[in-house]
Chains A and B, each alone.
Chain A
Amino acid sequence: MTTPVSSMVLVTVASFIGSFGAVFLKSGSAKLKKGLRHVVNVRVAIGVAMYLLSTVFFIWGIKHGELTVLYPLVSLSYVWTLLWSRLFFREPITGFKLLGVAFILVGVFLIGLGNR
């Protein structure tokens, strides 16, 4: 079984949208300091909407193709998030973070292999 390029593109787009969902959740999370009800705000709503959108792309993408290829592409969102965190929140990219994400990517790939 081979994985169509269209599936890979869809799943990569899903990971991209999902990583921006995380950025919006993070930026909306600061309002929580003002009180519990402030957890519902525009940024959090956009973040949740982006997650839902990324789920649509993900389900659409995994209809065809191998999970061995597609699962690791989804976890690329962790790599994007490293970049966005540096860019938007000035979080340093440390050795711990790179090593941790590398382990997780390898792990997700292996679980995909095991599910064949």
Chain B
Amino acid sequence: MSSPLYTLFDPIRKPLSPRQSVVLVFFCTLIGAAAQILMKFGANRLPGDITHPAEIILAVVANLYLLGGVSLYGVFTFLLILALRDGELSLLYPVIGLNYVWVTLLSLAIFRETMNPFKALGVTAIVCGVVVLGKGARE
């Protein structure tokens, strides 16, 4: 019973192995990317003709996409703290760079952005970097 999923159900008593911490941050970046996409959806739906601060606050609070995005950031932060509890900060923090990978790939599908060699190489380099960090965690 050492799968990362299991530890999510009993996160307090059971310390995470270095590798589980990396996997947890991996999940965090997926949640973070989903949050960013929701925020983008929400921002696109904000009316452009409001200027009064109270109106803006009301529009933001009434926007389900933005609320969903903020809530996901809350989940992201909680899971990150859980991973950091047992893992090394210097190893786990750069893994958050995967966020760029998910946002680039999701933007292709959702916002119809185009792929090009630079993006493809960049995504590959970040994935390589995370793999290297993951190898470091196994030592």
Interface positions of A (Cβ within 8 A of B): 22-23, 25-26, 28-30, 32-33, 35-36, 39, 44, 48, 51, 71, 75, 77-78, 81-82, 84-86, 89, 91, 93-94, 96-97, 99-104, 106-115
Contact = CB atoms under 8 A, between A and B. Distances in A.
Count class of interface residues, chain B: 35 or more
B90 A93 contact: yes
Contact of B90 (A25, A32, A91, A104): A91
Given A103-B132, A107-B124, 20 more contacts: A29-B82, A32-B81, A32-B85, A33-B85, A35-B12, A36-B12, A82-B90, A91-B90, A94-B139, A97-B94, A97-B133, A99-B129, A107-B126, A108-B100, A112-B122, A113-B118, A114-B117, A114-B118, A114-B121, A115-B119
A85 B88 CA distance: 8
Contacts of B126: 103-104, 107-108, 111
B89 interface: yes
Given A96-B133, A109-B122, A29 B84 contact: yes
Interface of B: 11-12, 77-78, 80-82, 84-85, 88-91, 93-94, 97, 100-101, 104, 116-130, 132-133, 135-136, 139
Per DSSP, are chain B's interface residues mostly helix, strand or loop, or mixed? helix
24 contacts: A29-B84, A32-B12, A32-B82, A75-B97, A78-B94, A85-B88, A89-B89, A96-B136, A99-B132, A100-B130, A104-B94, A106-B125, A106-B129, A107-B124, A110-B119, A110-B121, A110-B122, A111-B100, A111-B118, A111-B119, A111-B126, A113-B118, A114-B120, A115-B119
B125 A86 contact: no
Query: Interface SS of chain A: helix, strand, loop or mixed?
Result: helix
A22 B128 CA distance: 23
